[in-house]
Homo-oligomer: A and B are copies of this chain.
Amino acid sequence: MENNKRYTDLGFAKLDMERTKRRGYSEAIYCECKTKEQLLEIFQAFKNESLNVIGTRVSKEQYEYLKSEFPDIKYSAQGRIITLINQEIKKIGEVAVCTGGTGDIPVAEEAALTAEFYGSNVKRYYDIGVSGIHRLFDKIDEIRKANVIIAVAGMEGALCSIITGLVSVPVIAVPTSVGYGTSFKGLSALLTMLNSCAEGMSVVNIDNGFNAGYSANQINRLISGKKE
C-alpha cells in the first residue's frame, strides 16, 4: 500500500486524501460495484486518518460485513447510506427536502442523510405532489425558510417547477426512476425538470440523491457564512 500526502493507493482504488483541503469536504465511497473486501480496506484507510466516511448505495450485506469490523458505523436501509463519524461536524443553516410521492422517499433520504453528514440541518416534506396541490400550499411558508430546497420527484416530476415558482432560494431537482411505461426509468421526470420555465432550478442525475445533498449542503453552508 503506497501512501503519499495526497492519496492512498490500494491498487484497485486510489483514495483522495487531500479532498477536504481542496474541495471542502471528504470523499464519499460509491459502494455499488465494490466487493466487501475492497470496502473494508477503504474504510480502514479513512479510519487510519481519522477522517469521516460516507458510503452510498450500500446493500444490507455490505453493511453487515462492515458493522462487524466498525461497530460505530450507522446505516439507513431506506437511503442505503452508511456513515462512520470520526470527527463531529456541527450542523448549521437549513435544507428542505421535498418529495412528490411516497415512492420517492429512498432518494430523498439519500439526499437528506448526505446533507446532514456534511453539516446541514434538514427538514423533510414528503408526499406533497401536484395531484393534491393543497398539501404543498399548506407547507410552502415553512419550506421557504430553508436556504436551499431539494425537490425529489418521479413520474412527471412537475413538483419541482411548482416549488421553484413559489420561492426565492435555489432549488436542486432530483428526478427519480419511480413510474412505469413512458417514465423510462426517470427520463420523463428529468426532461420535465431540465425544461422547467421556472428559473432558479438546477438538476442532477436520476436517483442521485447524494449529489443533491452534497450540493445543497455546500450552498447552505456558504450562505450560512461557513467557507469550509
Contact A166 B22 (CB under 8 A): yes
Shortest beta-carbon distance from A28 to chain B in Å: 7
Copies in the complex: 8
Does the CB pair A156–B192 fall under 8 Å?
A: yes
0/1 interface trace, chain A 72-100, chain B, CB 8 Å (1 if under): 00000000000000000000000000001
**Residue from the list B14, B127, B156, B164 in contact with A195, Cβ < 8 A:** B156
Residue A62 interfacial (CB < 8 Å): no
The residues of B that contact A12 with a CB separation of less than 8 Å are 102, 105, 126-127
Q: Which residues of B contact A71 (CB under 8 A)?
A: none
Is A193 interfacial (CB 8 A cutoff)? yes
A residues 91-147 touching B (CB-CB < 8 Å): 100-103, 105, 126-135, 138, 147
Measured between beta carbons, the chain B residues less than 8 angstroms from A135 are 6-7, 14, 16
Contact partners of A11 in chain B: CB under 8 A:
126
Find chain B residues with CB under 8 A from A4 CB: 138
Report the Cα distance A11→B192, complex, angstroms: 26
Q: Given A101-B197, A170-B218, A201-B211, does the pair A161, B131 have CB atoms closer than 8 Å?
A: yes
For the complex, count residues of A whose C-beta is within 8 A of B: 96
Report yes or no: A205 in contact with B182, Cβ–Cβ below 8 A. yes
A123 to B134, CA, bound (A): 26
Cα A168 to Cα B27 with chains together (Å)? 13
Contacts of A202 in B (CB 8 A): 172, 202-204, 211-212, 215
The residue on B at minimum CB distance from A27 is B132
Asked if residues B205 and A180 are in contact (CB atoms below 8 Å), the reply is yes
The 7 tightest CB contacts between A and B, nearest first, are A181-B206, A33-B103, A202-B202, A16-B132, A158-B158, A24-B168, A188-B191
| A residues whose Cβ falls under 8 Å from a Cβ of B | 4, 6-7, 11-14, 16, 18-19, 22-25, 27-28, 30, 32-34, 38, 100-103, 105, 126-135, 138, 147, 155-158, 161-162, 164-170, 172, 175, 177-208, 210-212, 214-215, 218-219, 222-223, 227-228
